Copies of this chain bind each other. A is one copy, B any other.
Amino acid sequence: MTAATASGREDTRTRLLATALQLFTEHGVEGTSLQMIADALGVTKAAVYYHFKTKDEIAGAVAEPGLRELELVVEEASRLRRRGAQIDHLLTGFVDVVVRHRALVALFARDPGVTRALADSWSDIYGGRMLELFAGPEADESRAIAAHAAIVGIALTGGAPQFAALPDDTLRAHLVEVGRRLLGRPRRAT
Contacts and interface: CB of A to CB of B under 8 A. Distances in A.
Contact of A152 (B141, B146, B156, B181): B156
A142 B177 contact: yes
A157 B144 CA distance: 10
Interface stretch (A6-14, A71-79, A162-170): A162-170
Nearest to A171: B145
Interface in A33-81: none
Nearest 3 A/B pairs, CB to CB: A112-B112, A149-B153, A153-B153
A32 to B, nearest CB: 15
A29 to B, nearest CB: 10
5 contacts: A110-B115, A141-B170, A142-B174, A145-B171, A149-B156
Interface residues of A, number: 31
A145 B116 contact: no
B182 A163 contact: no
A133 interface: no
A154 interface: yes
Nearest to A150: B153
Contacts of A145: 157, 163, 171, 174-175, 178
A87 to B, nearest CB: 15
A148 interface: yes
A160 interface: yes
